[in-house]
A and B are shown apart, each in its own frame.
Chain A
Amino acid sequence: MKFTKEHEWLRVEGDLVVVGITEHASEALGDVVFVELPEPETVVAAGDEISVIESVKAASDILAPVDGEIVAVNEKLVDNPGLVNEDPLGAAWFFKMKLDDLSVLDDFMDEDEYKDFIA
C-alpha cells in the first residue's frame, strides 16, 4: 500500500488502483456524515478535487492522487458515510482508477515513510 501527503492510501488491485483515506485522516476528520463521489468513467488529473467528504466538523476535498480514469466508485459510502470511520482502510474505499502506467505509484510513500510523515 502507498500513501499520499494528502492522507490517501493507494492499493494496486490487478491493473487498477484503489483509493481511500487513511485511518489518521478519518480520525482527524471525526464522524463522517456525507460523501460525494466522482462520476465513474471520468478522466481526471492529479490534484483535481474529485470527491468531497463532510464530517460533523467540516468539509474536505479529496484529490485525485494521479492522472487516470475513474472506473468504479463505492456507492456504499453514500448510504453509510460512517464506514469511513469504521473501516477506512478496507470497506470504505472511495474509487478505483485505471492508470496508463502503474510505476507512477513508486513516487509515493510506503507505510513506514507515511508513519514518519504523520508522527
Chain B
Amino acid sequence: MAEELLRLGLHDLHVELGGKMVPFAGYEMAVQYPAGVMKEHLHTRAAAGLFDVSHMGQVILRPKAGMEALCLGFEALMPVDVLGVAAGRQRYGLFTNETGGILDDLMFANRGDHLFVVVNAACKHADVAHMRAHLADVAELEFIQDRALLALQGPLAEAALARIEPAVAAMRFMDVGMFGDLWVSRSGYTGEDGYEISLPMAQAEGFARRLMDMPEVLPIGLGARDSLRLEAGLCLYGHDIDTTTSPVEAGLVWAIQKARKAGGAREGGFPGAAHILKELAEGPSRRRVGLRPDGRAPMREGTALFAGDAPAGQITSGGFGPSVNAPIAMGYVPVAQAKTGTALEGDVRAKRLPVTVADMPFNPTTYKR
C-alpha cells in the first residue's frame, strides 16, 4: 500500500494550472505543466520560471548564548565556515556523518540575529532531529510550517520580482534580505540568476498569481527543475551525493572554506573530519565528473561505466539537456579516469556506448556576482 502523500499549500493552484502531479519526496508535486519539460526548461533560461519548492524544510536557529556560539555550534555539524558569513549573506553547507559521508546539503543565511536554514524535503525531519540533538545548548530551533517557498529563476527574474519589491534589484548572488513578509535570497538551483522567496502561506497564492500574470513568468515543474540543475552541474541529494559519498569525492571542496581545512583557524571539528581532511590531503579514490554521451542516447542514473573492460563507476544523474541540446550526465569514476576528455563507455540496454568525461557546468551559469 502506497504511503499517503502530503499536499503543498498551493496544491489547488498547481492542479488549476494543469500540473501533472506525481509523488516526490512524500509530496504530490507537479512534474510539468501543459508547456512540457522542454519548453519550461528553455523558458527559464530565456525569461523567468516560477517554481514551488515549499516541500523543502525551512528552519530558524535563534541563538541561546549569542550568535558566535550558535555559529560555532553549527560549524560542529559541517566542514563549512559559518562564523565567517556576514550578516545578510547566504552560504551552501552540508551535514556530514562520522565516516565523512553527506547527510544532507543545505543553504544557510546569517540574518543578523539568527540563522535561516533551508534543507532538502526528503531529509528535513532527520535534519531537524539532528540539529535539535546537537544544537540544544546554543540554538532555539523553529521548524517553519506556515510559509511557502518559491523560486523565481532566469534572466528576467530580477525585472519581474522588482515590480513587486524594487529593492531586490540591488541584491547580489547569495545576498539575503527581509522585505516585510518576504524573505528573499538571490540564489537558486538552476544555474541562472534568480531568487528564492519565503512568504506566509496565506499570501503565497496571490503572490504566485501576480508573478504568473507577468508575460515573463511561467510555472515550471520538477522535470525542468531537474534538467536545469543537471545542466548547471549541481548535485541532487540522494542521487549524486548521499551518506556514502564524501564532499571531496563529490567535488564539493569549494564548500569547505580555508578556516576548516588543515592549518585553518578552526581546522576539523566536524563529523568525519579525520576522513575528509585525509582525503583533502591525499586525494580521493574516485571523483564526481561531468559526462557527455558521444551519441544521442541519454545515459540515465545507474548506467554502469567502463574503461575498456574494467568497471569505471556509474552514472548518478543523467538525461537530456535542452539548452545544450544533447544528452548529459554526471557520475563517479576512479581518479585515473576523471580527467576531462577521458573516453569511457556506458552500458545502455546491454550495449556499450561511448561517453566522454566533460567539464561542468554544461551550460554556463549566470549568477549576478
Q: A residues touching B (Cβ–Cβ < 8 Å)?
A: 30-31, 33-34, 36, 52, 54, 56-59, 78, 81, 85
Contacts and interface: CB of A to CB of B under 8 A. Distances in A.
B322 interface: yes
Given A52-B349, A56-B37, A57-B31, A34 B300 contact: no
Contact of A31 (B37, B296, B297, B349): B37
Given A30-B223, A33-B320, A56 B38 contact: yes
Interface in B289-330: 296-298, 300, 319-320, 322, 327
A74 B320 CA distance: 22
Nearest to A57: B223
B348 to A, nearest CB: 9
A59 to B, nearest CB: 7
Given A34-B320, A56-B38, A56-B320, 13 more contacts: A30-B37, A30-B38, A31-B38, A31-B322, A34-B296, A34-B327, A52-B297, A54-B320, A56-B36, A56-B37, A56-B223, A57-B223, A85-B36
B44 interface: no
Interface of B: 31-32, 36-39, 223, 227, 296-298, 300, 319-320, 322, 327, 349
A54 B296 CA distance: 10
B298 A30 contact: no
Given A31-B37, A33-B327, A56 B297 contact: no
12 contacts: A30-B36, A30-B38, A30-B223, A31-B39, A31-B322, A34-B296, A34-B298, A52-B297, A56-B36, A56-B320, A78-B296, A81-B296
B298 A31 contact: no
A26 to B, nearest CB: 11
Nearest to A28: B20
A88 to B, nearest CB: 14
Given A30-B32, A30-B223, A33-B320, A54 B38 contact: no
A34 B297 CA distance: 6
A57 B37 contact: yes
Contacts of B36: 30-31, 56, 85
Contacts of B322: 31, 56
A67 to B, nearest CB: 23
A52 B299 CA distance: 13
Contact of B319 (A36, A52, A56, A78): A56
Contacts of A34: 296-298, 320, 327
A78 B227 CA distance: 21
B65 to A, nearest CB: 49
Contacts of A78: 296
Nearest to B227: A56
- Nearest 6 A/B pairs, CB to CB: A31-B38, A33-B320, A56-B37, A34-B296, A34-B297, A54-B298
Nearest to A81: B296
Nearest to B300: A59
